[in-house]
Chains A and B, each alone.
Chain A
Amino acid sequence: MTAPAEIVLDRRDGSVVARLSGEVDMSNASYVRDQLLASVPNEVLTLVLDISGTRYLDSAAIEVLFEVSRRLARRRQELRLVMPPDSPLRRVIELTEVHTAAPVFESLEDALS
């Protein structure tokens, strides 16, 4: 049994918006990574990953965020995260310094502006 996770993709103002819901752990981290990398065509500058609806991220998932950010940077593309200030994930994101690799915004609108 892998953890349940769902990615819904959207195009907004020249960006790809990926809403990640569910749980990401070592059982499905590589799947999430592949989905995210495949979702970004060349002409798009930004992948906005909305984790407002994400219930669980473990260290394997954090690693995926770093890796996606790295891979996009090589293509001159940027990974942005959307996470509300009261998210339970906030502490882990800060603790692992994900924000150094991908800027974190409090709302989707902020991330797209």
Chain B
Amino acid sequence: MRDRASQQAALAGLGRQALSGVDFGTLLQKAAAVAARELEAEHVAVLERTHDGAGMLARAGFGLPDGVLGGVLPVEPGRLARDLGAASSIAAELGSRFGVIEAHSREPDHFTAEDAEFLEGVAGVLGAAGERAGHEDLVRDSEAQFRELADTTPALMWMTDAEGDVTFVNQGWLRFTGGVAGHEIGGTFAASAHPDDRDELLRRWTEASERREEFRCEYRLRHGESGGYRWVLELGTPRFSGGDFVGYVGTATDIHERRTMEEALRASETIWRELADTAPAMMWTTGTDGAITFVNQGWLRFTGTTFQEEMGQSWALGVHPEDAEPMLASWEEALKERREWEGEYRLKHNTGEYRWIHDRGVPRIVGDRFVGYVGAAIDIHERKTMEGRLLEVYEREHRIAETLQRSLLPERLPPIEGVALAARYLPGARGAAIGGDWYDVLERPDGRVALVVGDVAGHGLRAAASMGQLRNAFRAYGMVEASPAEVVARINRLVMSGVEQVMATVLYLVLDRESGEVAWSAAGHPPPLVIAPDGARFLEGGRSVPIGAADPAVFREATAILPPGSSLLLYTDGLVERRDRPLEERLNELAEAAGEAGDELGELCEHVIAKVLGEGDPSDDVALLAVRPLPVADTEISLTLPAEPGSLAQLRRRLARFLHATGATELEQYEITLTICEAAGNAIEHAYGPGDASYDVDVRFEGGELTAVVRDKGSWRDKRGEHRGRGLAIIEDLMDDVAVERAEGGTLVRMRRRVGENRAA
């Protein structure tokens, strides 16, 4: 919405210039510029009718594209607006035949009726001036015309003669002052001014008129309607005719609102600044352009600068170079939209170091006018740096815990004869703390494999450390205790007797590789999953409270037989627990995902993680352990083993599974294993030495008879120590038939024994 008062003042100013005898061409240019500004128009054009009346000459304009000025257009209303692509336009005739002034806008319906009225006024001034330019001698006529025109505007206008006596005041003036024309004319200048302002007004008037200069004064003028005074801005322009000074033409504009607002603002500002200076906070104000107009003592105490140094834009020099750009960008954006602004940045302190401050500015609206910002800042350096340090400490702990966690988990699972193994550990999402999940595998003295998956309650370093202790406890008790429930019970007692409160859920399971028999105890832990060829199902039973929850506590165990070709999946609840879903549903998803994965255990883990956990980091950490007894050949095994004592256990393992498959009794298994291993022991002792020396073992089972051949690359020496003699005695006694062949390349022992029936003594 354009300001009507401003339009009137502009019109009055234009009138003044017209009367002051300015060159007509210049006046047209000025009128175009003034009209464009006051109408917020894209272009304004003054078109003059050519002498033959057949065209319109673009005589003056504002905002017009190159090439329009000086050109001639057909006489056709709205032609130029159309050519220039304007969406709306208004036009007014200049005088009777002179031409037309028109304003265009790109926006539809841009112009109001008041705009049109204003443009009529401009056209009136120009028309009068144009005619006067054509008939210079008719000054008085034009003055009369001016008066006529002046009387039609609501602005306040006046004229004086060369002596300074008032010769004319318009209707607007009289309406304002409530005076009568006769009383305002003559040596009455300043008669209606406020007594307090009259001296100043006369002093300026005298000064200006003596020098024939522009006159300007703000003063309080009597206001008839209210019976008081109102502030006006009075402007006067000297008039010349044929080079002679003939007096002044002037206008007065009502600036009462602005002036009183400014005064109120100044008064409140003074109070505010005094208040602000006593406040411990750092405070500031800006003008409408965002330049600093005030900072309080608190601010200056912080920066150690002077008030002058902080004014305008230079305060930003104190902002830390790394913060300046983003901070100024956000400030300028807020300023453009006159929104509240808030920022944290480092500002140079009087000590020379940068300190973090929190700064906030809100737009100040006085009446309905935006007058700038007022803001306050506080020093948040301690908090901010503490936050940074805390974050650092937190991240360090997270890193240490993760490192500890990983160092406590077996880097690679130990190769265990006869089973395939795979494990995965996923730390919780960054930001969430590391938990205490672990997995472990160990080979028990009784030949069974113990598997454990656990989850220590809590997060961070302590949980990871507790996990390490529990893992070791399971290794120790797992070695000596055969019963899973007893292992768990012992560890519970250990934990409950400790000083530190530790709580953990654990699934401890022992697997017999040969028979596929499993025994397990689930201490507050979700059940293990069996993935059998005919589908996946959970092993129920053997459930009890978590470790560290109660003492004494009853721990149960359960047993089951894995169908041939099955895999087992042990996991922690990070895999299946989700706040938004019932556990039952998650377990079903797990079984479904595991059932559709292939035989390879690494792939099984990956598939389950991808399907059950989905994309992204898990919120809690997750440990997975998958195991599968490998299928056993039951007719023949053929092995090449390194010639070192450590290979014997591996050989026994392979033999145990092979012999189990043949259906040999426990006693037969032991005795056959013993004889083959005794022969292998000889091979190891006779090997040429360390390095790549090896020996071969071939075992066949056919028609109830077992044949074993142990071949080395060294040569047998008899009776090397008493126990070697015993070794040979054992072989000969426990086998039906033994043959030793010594050759260049090494020694071969061939042994036979019937299995499953009474053998010859």
Asked if A and B bind, the verdict is: yes
Q: Which residue of A lies closest to B476 (CB)?
A: A6
Is A27 in contact with B648, judged by CB distance below 8 angstroms?
Answer: yes
**A103 CB within 8 Å of chain B:** no
Which of B446, B666, B724, B730 makes the CB contact (< 8 A) with A22? B446
Q: Which residue of A lies closest to B446 (CB)?
A: A55
Q: Given A92-B674, A92-B730, do A4 and B646 touch, yes or no (CB 8 Å)?
A: no
A-B contacts, CB under 8 A, total: 95
How far is A17 from B684 in the complex, measured between Cα atoms in Å?
Answer: 33
Q: Given A88-B667, A92-B674, do A59 and B723 touch, yes or no (CB 8 Å)?
A: yes
Is B479 in contact with A25, judged by CB distance below 8 angstroms?
Answer: no
**A95 CB within 8 Å of chain B:** yes
Q: Which residues from B are CB-within-8-Å of A22?
A: 444-446
**A3 CB within 8 Å of chain B:** yes
| Min C-beta distance of A17 to chain B, whole Å | 14
**A96 CB within 8 Å of chain B:** yes
How far is A20 from B211 in the complex, measured between Cα atoms in Å?
Answer: 127
Q: Which residues from A are CB-within-8-Å of B673?
A: 56
How far is A96 from B733 in the complex, measured between Cα atoms in Å?
Answer: 10
**B191 CB within 8 Å of chain A:** no
Q: Which residues from A are CB-within-8-Å of B646?
A: 1-2, 27
Interface of B is mostly: helix
Is B445 in contact with A26, judged by CB distance below 8 angstroms?
Answer: no
Q: Which residues from A are CB-within-8-Å of B645?
A: 2, 25-27
Instruction: Identify which of residues 65-82 in chain A touch chain B, using a CB-to-CB cut-off of 8 Å.
Output: none
Name the residue in A1, A63, A91 with the highest tally of chain B Cβ atoms < 10 Å from its Cβ: A1
Is B666 in contact with A88, judged by CB distance below 8 angstroms?
Answer: yes
Is A58 in contact with B678, judged by CB distance below 8 angstroms?
Answer: yes
Which of A1, A21, A27, A58 makes the CB contact (< 8 A) with B674? A58
Which of A6, A27, A62, A89 makes the CB contact (< 8 A) with B649? A27
How far is A56 from B677 in the complex, measured between Cα atoms in Å?
Answer: 11
What sequence of 0s and 1s flags, for each residue 479-507 of chain B, a beta carbon within 8 Å of any chain A beta carbon? 11000000000000000000000000000
**A8 CB within 8 Å of chain B:** yes
**B16 CB within 8 Å of chain A:** no
**A23 CB within 8 Å of chain B:** yes
Q: Which residues from A are CB-within-8-Å of B479?
A: 4, 6
Q: Given A5-B445, A55-B446, do A25 and B677 touch, yes or no (CB 8 Å)?
A: yes
Instruction: Identify which of residues 631-670 in chain B touch chain A, using a CB-to-CB cut-off of 8 Å.
Output: 645-650, 652, 666-667, 669-670
Which of B447, B648, B666 makes the CB contact (< 8 A) with A26? B648
Chain B: how many interface residues by the 8 Å CB criterion? 35
Q: Which residues from B are CB-within-8-Å of A58?
A: 648, 674, 677-678, 681, 727
Q: Which residue of A lies closest to B667 (CB)?
A: A88
Q: Which residue of B lies closest to A26 (CB)?
A: B645
**A60 CB within 8 Å of chain B:** yes
Is B670 in contact with A26, judged by CB distance below 8 angstroms?
Answer: no
Is B649 in contact with A60, judged by CB distance below 8 angstroms?
Answer: no
Is A6 in contact with B445, judged by CB distance below 8 angstroms?
Answer: yes
Q: Which residue of A lies closest to B727 (CB)?
A: A59
Which of B650, B667, B727 makes the CB contact (< 8 A) with A1? B650
**A53 CB within 8 Å of chain B:** yes
Q: Which residues from A are CB-within-8-Å of B444?
A: 4, 22
What sequence of 0s and 1s flags, for each residue 71-109 of chain A, a beta carbon within 8 Å of any chain B beta carbon? 000000000000000001101100110000000000000
Q: Given A4-B444, A6-B480, A25-B648, do A95 and B681 touch, yes or no (CB 8 Å)?
A: no
How far is A55 from B733 in the complex, measured between Cα atoms in Å?
Answer: 20
**B261 CB within 8 Å of chain A:** no
How far is A71 from B724 in the complex, measured between Cα atoms in Å?
Answer: 20
How far is A50 from B38 in the complex, measured between Cα atoms in Å?
Answer: 113
How far is A91 from B673 in the complex, measured between Cα atoms in Å?
Answer: 14
Is B443 in contact with A89, judged by CB distance below 8 angstroms?
Answer: no
Q: List 24 A-B contacts (CB under 8 A).
A: A4-B444, A4-B649, A21-B480, A23-B445, A23-B652, A25-B645, A26-B681, A27-B645, A27-B648, A27-B649, A55-B445, A55-B447, A55-B670, A56-B670, A56-B674, A58-B681, A59-B678, A59-B730, A88-B666, A88-B667, A91-B671, A91-B734, A92-B674, A95-B729
Q: 4 additional contacts, CB 8 Å, given A21-B480, A59-B730, A60-B681?
A: A4-B445, A53-B446, A59-B723, A96-B726
What 5 A-B pairs come out closest when comparing CB atoms?
A22-B445, A27-B645, A63-B723, A59-B727, A88-B670
